[in-house]
Amino acid sequence: MPSRLRNQWAQGQPTFNFFLTIPNAWTAEVMARTGFDAITLDMQHGLMDFSTALQQLQAISTTDAVPLVRLQWNEPSIIMKMLDAGAAGLICPMIETAEDTAAFVRACHYPPAGIRSYGPIRASRLSEGNYFQEANREVLAFAMIETAAAADNLEAIAAVPGLSGLFVGPYDLSVSMGLKRVADIHDPALRAVLERVLAACEKHGLTAGFYSGNVAHLAEVSEMGFRLISTGDDTKLLERGAKDLLDELKTIPS
């Protein structure tokens, strides 16, 4: 399934990815059926635990959307558990060094490329072929660039073998860099990091990802060359829809 995303990226096309925060299989299925290329379970800031995430992965699997997970942390048992549960790719937060990246990549891959333990209890049942033979090639592994330290070590991070891409989290990144305007892609300092991310991805054959709640910013970074275009979340979407409906109701004459 990740090959569909890779094919789009190879053709220079952006893929659209939606982040989920609500711990519910039904809302996951509804969002996956809207036509987004990928759906990401946000286990870092979302409200789901593993049991709920499994049900959401099952719901997403009834659609054509590629299921991704943003991990809680760069911890091997969490990484392996989510891959065994059927995540097609992982986004790892708070990566800061090449060593962090190598540890993340090793946990995503079976030996000899990594240290992943063999036991893909659900993932193997989603594969049409030999999961063990295909997993190292197919699993997507994105390292988040969201701290000043990560920006300083950007080139070394991108050079780690087995990485699929760099994923910019502009909110934490701008805060970590001490910028006055949070997640403003027009800030010269943040813009310079974005350009370096693209250059590093180009050099090492990686895909550049970006998250924002600002559609104009997403359009701009897509034009720059970012390809995993991510937005959301479902909580804000539900809240905004409810408020818009209430505003309409309030126009009814009393």
49-60 burial, b if ≥16 CB within 10 A, otherwise e? eeebbbbbbbbb
Instruction: Please pick, among 45, 109, 186, 204, the residue that the annotation labels catalytic.
Output: 45
Amino acid found at 25: A
Contact 166, 145 (CB under 8 A): yes
Report strand pairing: 89-92 vs 228-231. Answer: unpaired
Cα Rg for the chain, rounded, in angstroms? Answer: 18
Amino acid found at 135: A
Contact 71, 95 (CB under 8 A): no
45 is catalytic: yes
User: Helix axis angle, 215-224 relative to 188-204, nearest 10°?
Assistant: 40
Alpha-carbon distance of 3 to 181, in angstroms, equals 37
Alpha-carbon distance of 248 to 115, in angstroms, equals 55
Q: Is the peptide bond before 112 cis (omega within 30 degrees of 0)?
A: yes
Which residues are identified as catalytic? Answer: 45
